[in-house]
Structure 1
C-alpha cells in the first residue's frame, strides 16, 4: 500500500452527500464519482449545496483546513430571493445572530452580474415575480448551514449555494461531478498557509 499523500479537488453536484457511505437511497455519495480509496473530505458541503470539496488522506492538513481556529477563507456564490440592500449586506459583513451564536465578520458583496456557472440539476424553483440576486460571501468559519442561516436572518433566503474556493484553491472550470488531483502549485499554497489562527483571522476580515 502506498504511503504517499493524495489531494483531490471535486466539484460536488447538488443532491450529493459529502461522504462515501450511503444513508438515504435518494442521495448519491462521493463513491458514485471518486474511485480513489482512503481519501476523506475536508469539512463538508450540505447535500443541497454545490461546489468545491477537497479530499485527502493527509490528516494534518485536513485538521488545519477543518479547524475553525485557523480561520482560512471559504468563498461562496449565493443566489438569494430579492435584491439585498446596503443595510442587509452591512449586517452580513459585521455579523448576524444565528440562534445563540453571532457570526464572525465576513467579506460580502453584491455581484453585478450572474456568475458563469453550470445549470443546476434540478433547476432552482423561482417564485413568480420575485427577483433574485447573487452575493459573493467569504467566511472564516463553517457552522452548520451557516450561509443559508445568515441570508435568512437578514430577510433574503438562499436559493442556490456554490462554494468556489477554499483557502487559495479555486474551483475554476471544473464541471459538476468532475474531480482532479491538486497541482503542485495548489499544494504549495495549502502547505504554506499561515498556522496562527488569530493572525489569519485578522488579515482576512
Structure 2
C-alpha cells in the first residue's frame, strides 16, 4: 500500500538501476552536455569570442554528436537495460491517468499511478530518442557537405538549429525536475532508492 507524503522515511532501500544502466545514463549525459556546450559556443557570439578556437569547438561538437548513440548501443548488452527500454516503450491505462493529473497540476500521489517509469519519463525518453536521431542525421548532412545538394544542406541546417534550441529547453526542464527530486538523483548515483519513495512515486513498480 503506498505511503502518504507525510509518512516518516524508512531506512529500507531497493535497487532501481544496475551499474550498466547508470553508466549509460552518465555517459549519455556527458556527451549531451558536450554537444550543448559546444553548440552554445558556436551560436552565441559572446561565448564564441570568449572561447575562440572555432575549428576545435566544431570538431568536438561533431565527434560528441556522432558518439551520442554509442552508450545506448553498448547498454543493449545489459539485460536490465533492455528491460527498462521495454518499460519506457510501453504505455498503459495508468499512464493516461498520470498525464491527466499532471495537466491538472494534481500532485497527490494517489492521482498519479506509475510503474518503474511514469508517463512523463516515458514521453521524455521517446522524444529524446527521436530528437537525437534527427540531430544526428541533419548533422551528418551538414558535416559531409560534398555528398548532398545545397537544398538538402540548407534544410538540414534549419531543422538542426531549431531542434537544438528545443532540445536545450527540454533538457533544462529535465534537469530542473531532477534537481527537485533528491531521491531520484540518488537512485541514478547509487542505484538504490528508499522504499517509501518508491511506494509513493511509483506505486505500481514491484522491485
Same-fold status (TM-score > 0.5)? no
Short-chain TM bin: under 0.3
With CA pairs under 8 Å and 6+ residues apart, which has the higher RCO, 1 or 2?
2
Structure holding more strand per residue: 1
Structure with the greater alpha carbon radius of gyration: 2
Structure holding more helix per residue: 2
TM-score relative to the length of structure 2: 0.27
TM-score relative to the length of structure 1: 0.27
